[in-house]
Amino acid sequence: MMNRLEKYFGALKYVVSALLAVLTIFVLFQIVEWIINAQPEWRYTDIFKYLKFVLTTESISVSIMILFVFYSLIFTIIYDKFQLNNIRLAVDKLAKENFDEELNINRNQIITYINQMNKQLSVLIEKEKSAISLKNELISNVSHDLRTPLTSIIGYMDLIQDNKFKDEVELMYYIDIAYEKSLRLNRMVNDLFEFSKVSNKDIKLHYTTFNLIELFQQLATEYSLPLRRSNMDLEINYRDKEMLITADPDKLMRVFENLISNAIKYGKSGHKIDVIIEKEAEFCTVKVKNYGDKIPSYALPYIFDRLFRVEESRSDKTGGSGLGLAIAKGIVNSHHGEIIAFSDDVETVFQVKLPLKEVSNE
């Protein structure tokens, strides 16, 4: 729009300059004619002779051209001064952190750069505001989540210290609860440290080549008791007995522990978890399926966001920190992989796709 207006102004500038040049010559003609009629004796002065020469047929075109250039220069100077004043006003607005208004000029490269800088600064300011808001939200949520088990631990320890228990059985019950709350608190603190590393991209990977099938067989053994308590079965499906992958086994163990734990917590009604391991060219794909309640479609795009919970009461019921899936996504991304989730009325699937070989960060 501004480019079109500038073209129109450029054409109009020259038209007006030409009209003013012709008008000036016409006025000079009128002046000379008036002088001849009013003061005949002036026709012999040098100034009059010069004006008469300027207005002769031979030099009139040159005179018009000179006047045309003169007026064009004046218009150009005025317009450029107007443009420079707009630039100055725009820079003043930027200096006062007014990033909401775009410049109304687009004359040359410097204007483009200033507009780009304006937009970039606006984006940076919005990101900073968002980061501050998320940080405050994180502090608030984490403070609440940490305080809950800590308050419970202190309460049971006070009961024990004041000998407010009937017998040794009740004492052991209090100790067991305090111990479980301590484990939960420890998990949450570890999640915070891990999430901090993932967020700052400070996660260090120790690559080694290992059999992914064996890692899941180990996980099946570790989760046999929680699965039995939840009346659930875990089935690992794979074609090849060996699926060699070069990655950090401890970090991937953390990812799949989280996915299986979530499947146990939220898929109890389905009584079954399926793990499907497949090879696709230079990648391996792992799907962790449960057959419990569906994740609402509105929640799926945010399922890997930190502190996001489908239900606010979930953390109290399951002991989750709300950081597990965010950590899992960070670990998978650091391996140059991909993790996605989809859910329907039949199943909920978390799919992890990883390169079989180490990918350079360069």
At 258, which amino acid appears? N
Res. 212 pLDDT band, cuts 50 70 90: very high
Lowest mean pLDDT across 253-257, 269-273, 318-322 = 318-322
pLDDT single digits (tens) 220-232 = 988 888 899 889 9
Asked whether the predicted pLDDT for residue 251 surpasses 50, the reply is yes
pLDDT value of position 169 = 85
Q: Residue 67's closest CA among 78, 58, 59, 79?
A: 59
Q: Residue 230's closest CA among 290, 312, 162, 294?
A: 290
- Taking the C-alpha atoms of residue 295 and residue 310, their distance in angstroms, rounded to an integer, is 8
Instruction: Report the range out of 135-139, 191-195, 329-333 with the highest average pLDDT.
Output: 329-333
At residue 171's C-alpha, the angle toward residues 165 and 175, to 5°, is 130
Four-way CATH pick for 135-199: 1.10.486.10, 3.40.50.300, 3.30.1490.480, 1.10.287.130: 1.10.287.130
Asked whether the predicted pLDDT for residue 359 surpasses 80, the reply is no
Instruction: Report the range out of 80-84, 190-194, 274-278 with the highest average pLDDT.
Output: 274-278
pLDDT value of position 2 = 47
Structure tokens at 127: 């990101």
DSSP bridge pairs for 238: 277
At 48, which amino acid appears? F
Q: Give the largest CA-CA distance in the chain.
A: 137
Asked whether the predicted pLDDT for residue 92 surpasses 60, the reply is yes
Res. 234 pLDDT band, cuts 50 70 90: very high
Q: Are 310 and 295 in contact (CB under 8 A)?
A: yes
More confident residue, 124 or 138: 124
Asked whether the predicted pLDDT for residue 260 surpasses 50, the reply is yes
Lowest mean pLDDT across 76-90, 159-173, 241-255 = 76-90
Lowest mean pLDDT across 10-19, 102-111, 188-197, 274-283 = 102-111
SS3 for 202? coil
- Taking the C-alpha atoms of residue 120 and residue 103, their distance in angstroms, rounded to an integer, is 14
Structure tokens at 334: 């650091």
End-to-end CA distance of the chain: 43
SS3 for 352? strand
CB atoms within 10 A of CB 185: 19
Q: Residue 24's closest CA among 48, 51, 58, 2?
A: 51
Per the prediction, the chain carries an average pLDDT of 75
Res. 270 pLDDT band, cuts 50 70 90: confident
Asked whether the predicted pLDDT for residue 310 surpasses 90, the reply is no
With a threshold of 0.85, does the pTM exceed it? Answer: no
Backbone φ and ψ of 236, nearest 5°: -105, 120
Res. 357 pLDDT band, cuts 50 70 90: confident
Lowest mean pLDDT across 97-111, 237-251, 331-345 = 97-111
- Superfamily of domain covering 208-355: Histidine kinase-like ATPase, C-terminal domain (3.30.565.10)
Res. 1 pLDDT band, cuts 50 70 90: very low
SS3 for 148? helix
Q: Residue 354's closest CA among 329, 318, 317?
A: 329
- Taking the C-alpha atoms of residue 319 and residue 169, their distance in angstroms, rounded to an integer, is 25
Structure tokens at 35: 């002088």
Give span(s): CATH 3.30.565.10, the chain: 208-355
Structure tokens at 283: 């990648």
Helix orientation angle between 46-54 and 2-38, rounded to the nearest 10 degrees: 130
All residues at 6 or more sequence positions from 176 whose CB lies less than 8 Å from its CB, including other chains? none
pLDDT value of position 177 = 83
Mean pLDDT of 2-7: 51
User: What CA–CA distances, in Å, run from 16 to 55, 59, 78, 79?
Assistant: 21, 21, 14, 14
Res. 60 pLDDT band, cuts 50 70 90: low
Backbone φ and ψ of 165, nearest 5°: -145, 150
Res. 263 pLDDT band, cuts 50 70 90: very high
pLDDT value of position 56 = 54
pLDDT single digits (tens) 99-109 = 555 555 555 55
Give span(s): CATH 1.10.287.130, the chain: 135-199
Asked whether the predicted pLDDT for residue 58 surpasses 70, the reply is no
Q: Are 311 and 145 in contact (CB under 8 A)?
A: no
Sign (positive/negative) of CA torsion 109, 112, 118, 121? Answer: negative
Mean pLDDT of 272-296: 91
Ranges of H-type helices in the chain? 2-38, 46-54, 57-95, 109-161, 168-199, 212-222, 224-229, 249-266, 314-318, 324-334
More confident residue, 134 or 253: 253
All residues at 6 or more sequence positions from 263 whose CB lies less than 8 Å from its CB, including other chains? 273, 288, 289, 290, 292, 348, 350
Asked whether the predicted pLDDT for residue 233 surpasses 80, the reply is yes
Asked whether the predicted pLDDT for residue 287 surpasses 90, the reply is yes
